Chains A and B, each alone.
Chain A
Amino acid sequence: MGAASKGTDVTSPLCPFRANPPKEVGVRRFLTGFHRPAALLPLLAVLALGLASGPAAAQGPAGYRDHAALTKAVQALANANKAVVRLESIGRSAGGRDIWALEIGGPGPVPPAQRPALLVAAGFDGDRLAGTEIALAVAGILAKAPASEATVYVLPRLNPDGAEGFFAPLKTGARTNREPYDDDNDGRVDEDGPDDLNGDGLITVMRVKAAGGEYMIDPEDPRLMKRADPKKGETGSYRLYTEGIDNDGDGFINEDPPGGIDLDRNFAHEYPYGQPGAGPHMVSAAEARALMAWIVAHRNVAAILTFGGSDNLIVPPTGAGRLGPARELDLVRFADTAVAAARAAGFIQTGGAMGRGGRMMMGGFPFEMPGGGGRQAPRAAQAAAGSEFSRFMMPDRKPATTVAPGDYDFFKAVSDKYVETTGIRQPLCVREPRGAFFEYGYYQFGVPSFSTPGFGLATAEPGPARRPAGGAPPDPGAAVPPVQAGRGAAPARQTGAAGGGGVGGFGQAGGGGPAPAAAAAAPGIDRQVLKWMEAEKIDGFVPWTKVKHPEFGEVEVGGFKPYAAANPPADKLAGLGQAHAEFAAYLISLFPRVRAASFEAEGLGGGLYRLRAEVENTGFWPTALAQAVTARSVKPTMVQLGVDPGAVVSGSPKTSFVQTLPGSGGRAKFEWLVKGKPGQAVELVVRSEKGGSATARVTLK
């Protein structure tokens, strides 16, 4: 019963309200507000029971759900908890599937849409299904003990089309949505996807013996490949591709698979212009647009928890406000690099006009216009004209890209709690977060916003993932995305063949560009992932086997199975669901909560009254984070006196705004001199976008 007693112990860290009990105030006013820690008790009790009974009691069938099963599950949850759970579709995917949203909130005086809310969102990446299952588990658990003064929104799967790939006969592990997209911009859409050469129903990696190839078999583990380092005297002898053939006969393999937009690269913070999967522009995907339309209509969302490819919970931002480096499988990355050359091929060089050596290159290269057209050099002065004045008059603001110093401690504290609650100490694979939704959530929407893969390693291996003790800032370049030549790549790479991807060396006219930085800065997690798979008894690696390839002749196919490194074994889901439900409840307990701590009137004679009020935030988080104040994205807390504006003689105005009110009892004081009559009731309204609202009344004597 230890767990159960934990549930009733209000001094537990789950309940920070205990540290700041509401102070008693005058008897002539009454308060409505959300400062009653008791309201959380039933939830804690249910969580405790869940923990006590163990994973076996977790709800839902084991395993992963396709869209039809997911739809049944959310409908069942809503039907079984009619008073608490509401289900809506916030829009449809490119493939016409509903994007489901559950609203969970118990009966209470304030409608759920006006309560501070936690948004739990998952299923952005088509290959990460675990987040959806964990989010569903969280929804199921929280629906059993719904808060009366907070709301939980659960959007279990933002990319339902992408997730269907998990259930397809041929498993590719694609992250993208299914919107047709011309990845290599050759005028043909989705014309060269992967092909299952060894007939195992899985798309893995193809290694091709080739003199001059950049890769070699890892001497320490012959299952793995490494990039040969000429500086160490190593000679490559392999090229790497994803499994497939050159379907469209353009000389490249798998350069334009079905789909799509990489949904968690499509949002507006640090949008990775032109990068593979980013789409034609920010918020272009139907799914991204649906989520944006939904969230800007739900300003009561006070915190965001996403399950996705990025992480800021297992490893918090550094003291400099940056996230840890990406950790991606080298084998997969090497193979993906091969298609970059397809996007670079097709820059025509002309010759002949200027005599020997005459060259014309377009697209950002030195440019000699043959006869005519080159009347004068482009006006270099044009762009510079007035630029000094412009810079002086309107200094260009830059968006923030690091966690504000004032917010750092909140991220650290939540991360510590996350590690403690879930026992996850190191993420397995992590993507760099440019264009991810949770980054939008903090930098632009302005609330505490988190991402986790939802599973990971119970022990942190010393290595590239965890920053060294002492919090030394990591390599500043670490947060920069892996550079991949391709659409939108810097001009210097556009004729270079990055990685030498062509079947017959096509697209290498530029003599081969510099090695992509992604491959150069390999974190080397492949071995760690193999070890994890062995420990967890996951059959996640296809041994290399020889296959006949139409273009290359004999090749070997093998490597990590799609989805295997992106998801935990299904039998781990129940436990992860419990742990994350507990964590979600913890996040809710941190919400800012405003109240009128005091509101008093004093008659001064002659119909003049002095009104005094103190407004308090009894929650843990401030009513607006530092970044929210910078971004002006969270409305200031409004304090409004219910009198005619003309009655305010002096002091505070009728309507005041507080940019942010610190948590844990932060207060703001107001004083008005107003004209009034004995017996007149005066109302004070306090309204915070993320911290609820409160009303107090006083009667003039």
Chain B
Amino acid sequence: MRTRKTPVLALAAAAGLLLLTPFAPAQKASDPAFKVKLDFNRWHDCDELAADMRRLQAAFPKFLKLESIGKSHNGRDLWLMTINNPATGPESGKAGMYIEANVHGNEIQGCEVCLYTIWYLMENYGRNADITRLVDERVFYIIPTVNPDGHQYFMEGPGGNARSGHVPVDDDNDGLFDEDPPEDINGNGIVEMIRKYVPGQGNYRISRDNPDLLEPVPFGEKGDYILLGQEGIDNDGDGLVNEDGPGSYDPNRNWPSDWQPNYVQGGAMDYPFQLPEAKAVADFLKAHPNIAGVQSYHNTGGMILRGPGAEAVGEYPQPDARAYDELGQNGERMLPFYRYIVIWSGLYTVHGGFIDYTNDGLGIVSFSNELWNGEQYFTSPALKEQQQDPSSPIAPAQSRYFFDKYLEFGEEYVKWTPFDHPQFGRVEMGGVWKKYQGRVPPRFMNEELCHRNMAFSLYQADEMPLVRLDDAEVERIGGDVYRVYVDITNPKVVPTVLAKAAQTGTVRPDLLLTEGRNVEVLAASFVDSKTVHKINPSVTPLVDQKDLKRILIRNGQPGKATRTAVLIVKGSGSVKVTYDSVKGGRASKTVALK
């Protein structure tokens, strides 16, 4: 609860009432006057993330449903927020946008983007027309952290080794599991480097450019320092330091599309969905086939990634690549310093990654944004130009130190300080960056990161397929035989069925259903444009299926396109035509035969 204490004792009784409300009284002239105040300039641990989700849920109970989809290895809940307006229909009839973050425990700012997205959608519903429409048309599934064990380990500990989840792995093959993690001996919350001053006998020296930095001496010279490795102790007495910390696998390689064993893909574990967190997420996704968009936030580098993760999988079919390119290229315009790239060719090869599974295994358009790019420290053209000058204090090698000193007031860099080490004697420890520097933005820049990335995901959500039956016409051929034209439109970028999903059968095909008491469908075909077809009639291929009252459309409805179904029907009364897609919703049109 974030109610402020007031010094006026007389208000204490009123405060009792205020506690029942999840927000402070609105200030009249504020713009906007938000119901729930959240902070996006600091990093939240698991409990705080969950508490903020509970506050949001309490403030917007009509739209928000908070539930746990399962437990992590250490027993933490995987909290899912569902955003749906029940007044516009149940979840299952709407295309769903699934957003998650933090599969790598140390990649924490995505959690804040998730929280920001829930908050922003709710605070702006009814205030902003676009947001209102989006919330009415779509459903959002948001899991701020899918690796709470890794997240909490990162937040509580020195920050190293937190990419993994916490299913124990015997990293050093000694039959013991996770028995020798890194330690913070001097208790400052950081695992530091250790150096020893050995005048004229070392192989390192103080950098000429920056007294905080050590640099190796040139060939043939001697320095004053040697490095003695990382802070830590040999917990298991095997002669090795910090060789078996918690977990040590990659939770983003445990997914069953192009999954490969450990020797091909490091960190894959022994079989897909071995990890309880991956299993819980997969079970949720399988139970929600309406999900048509996925975003999995990572850090770092400023990327809008799509699959395939490995070259051997093969580039996506052209219609799919076209939809991805449209979204990704607009994403680049919304996210300065982010590049839209394919994982294997632009980043590195990934086998068994999450978004490979959601695209290849589930037929969902999927992106993974690598949040934050170091280019964003100094963004103006003038400063970029100045960075070209190696003697500038913001030249690439120096810029982090400059930024830390003047914009973060020395918050992030740990300077060398003397320490009496139990094994090495008098040494100095330091020379490292704290865990919040580098992969996450400076705290004061996080809200912009949250907003821009949310905007991209909302754009993706808006471009999920949405089926409409716009126009229907009936034309009498003779007797009780009619030609019925029904225009099927998907005004969005994404097709109702991805071409790859159609090839592999991972999404239920779309269905064109015809109902009518006395109606028989004699023949059916589809034309790309009714107008062109009427001006210049051409022979169209007939639908080669037996049951024409339930036509399977495996390749779905393309994006940004209207096609016309042409049904030759025999009968009387009225005909109801329904286009039913799993990811683009369902639409019907009834016409009278006359």
Contacts and interface: CB of A to CB of B under 8 A. Distances in A.
Contact of B511 (A187, A504, A687): A187
Contacts of A367: 318-319
Interface stretch (A394-402, A408-416, A465-473): A394-402
Contacts of B174: 638, 640, 655
Interface string B228-262: 00000010011110000000000000001101111
Contacts of A387: 311, 344-345
A352 B261 CA distance: 49
B554 A292 contact: no
Nearest to B495: A362
Contacts of A638: 173-175
Contacts of A249: 546-547
Interface in B559-574: 559-561, 563
A508 B259 contact: no
A406 to B, nearest CB: 15
Contacts of A20: none
A382 to B, nearest CB: 6
Contacts of A653: 239
B558 A369 contact: yes
A373 B561 contact: yes
Interface in B393-423: none
B346 interface: yes
Interface stretch (A132-140, A221-229, A279-287, A321-329): A279-287
A212 interface: no
A370 B271 contact: no
Interface stretch (B82-90, B123-131, B430-438, B534-542): B534-542
Given A281-B272, A506-B545, A350 B503 contact: no
A385 B346 contact: yes
Contacts of B271: 268, 282-283, 289, 292, 296
A419 interface: no
B587 interface: no
Contact of A390 (B322, B346, B556): B346
Interface of A is mostly: loop
Interface residues on A, range: 35 or more
B544 A345 contact: yes
Contacts of B311: 387, 390-391, 396
B504 A273 contact: yes
Interface string A334-359: 00000000010111111111111110
B274 interface: yes
Interface string A525-558: 0000000000000000000000000000000000
Given A351-B528, A385-B346, A363 B540 contact: no
A351 B539 contact: yes
A350 B563 contact: yes
Interface in B307-326: 310-312, 315, 317-319, 321-322, 325-326
A371 interface: yes
Given A268-B272, A390-B349, A657-B173, A383 B315 contact: yes
Contacts of B234: 645
B345 A347 contact: no
A185 interface: yes
A382 B321 contact: yes
B503 A396 contact: no
Given A347-B555, A387-B345, A507-B544, A363 B561 contact: no
A503 B547 CA distance: 12
A384 B556 CA distance: 28
A357 B345 CA distance: 37
Contacts of A2: none
B506 interface: yes
Given A268-B271, A387-B345, A398-B312, 18 more contacts: A273-B504, A280-B361, A296-B270, A346-B554, A352-B532, A354-B528, A370-B529, A375-B326, A382-B340, A390-B311, A390-B348, A391-B311, A399-B263, A502-B546, A507-B544, A635-B173, A638-B173, A655-B238
29 contacts: A187-B511, A249-B546, A250-B546, A282-B256, A283-B256, A284-B256, A346-B545, A348-B555, A351-B528, A351-B538, A352-B527, A352-B537, A355-B536, A355-B538, A367-B318, A382-B321, A390-B311, A390-B344, A390-B345, A390-B347, A396-B311, A397-B265, A398-B264, A491-B503, A630-B263, A635-B173, A638-B174, A640-B238, A644-B237
| 7 A-B pairs with least C-beta separation | A353-B528, A251-B546, A346-B552, A351-B540, A352-B527, A362-B555, A645-B239
Interface of A: 182, 185-187, 246, 249-251, 268, 271, 273-274, 280-284, 289, 292-293, 296, 343, 345-358, 360-364, 367, 369-375, 378-379, 382-387, 390-391, 393-394, 396-399, 443-444, 486-489, 491, 494, 502-504, 506-509, 630-633, 635-636, 638, 640, 644-645, 648, 653-655, 657, 687
